[in-house]
Amino acid sequence: MEFGTFILDFQTINFESDSEIARNLLNEYQSSLKLQNAFALDEPITTAGWSFAKLFLSAEFVEKLYERNGREIDRLKGKRLVDKIVSWLAGNLQSKNCGAQLKIAREMVP
């Protein structure tokens, strides 16, 4: 399965805490997959109490995450594999008490 770079919208009302949880989880995955520089989280734009940032995941990172967690990801609801992967990642963040919402950025929609 080949993926391009994932571009996700990272939306939260508590950027400091939620971004730290996200970075820690993604660092764990990155380390276990023996990758470097596999993700980046932009500085947020804040408006009306919400912070909005872009989260970038490298194609190699997504491919390796899917290789390792494909069975779990394939069981999730969604028509497209991309949607299932984002749902899986969002669920893992939620389980770590991250309140951020993840969704596929407009830039990534074909």
Q: Report the DSSP beta bridge partners of residue 104.
A: 8
pLDDT in tens, 40-51: 999 999 999 999
Q: Give the number of domains in the chain.
A: 1
Within-domain flag for 11 = yes
Rounded to whole angstroms, the Cα distance separating 15 from 44 reads 8
pLDDT in tens, 60-70: 999 999 999 99
- Could you list the residue range(s) of the whole structural domain that residue 87 is in? 6-108
Residue 78 pLDDT > 90, yes or no? no
Within-domain flag for 1 = no
The predicted pLDDT at position 1 comes to: 60
Residue 3 pLDDT grade (very low, low, confident, very high; cuts 50, 70, 90): confident
Residue 107 pLDDT > 90, yes or no? no
Within-domain flag for 19 = yes
Residue 110 pLDDT grade (very low, low, confident, very high; cuts 50, 70, 90): low
Within-domain flag for 68 = yes
Within-domain flag for 13 = yes
Task: Provide the CA 65 distance to its chain's centre, in angstroms.
Answer: 11
For residues 104, 63, 84 and 45, what is the CA-based torsion angle, rounded to 10 degrees?
-20
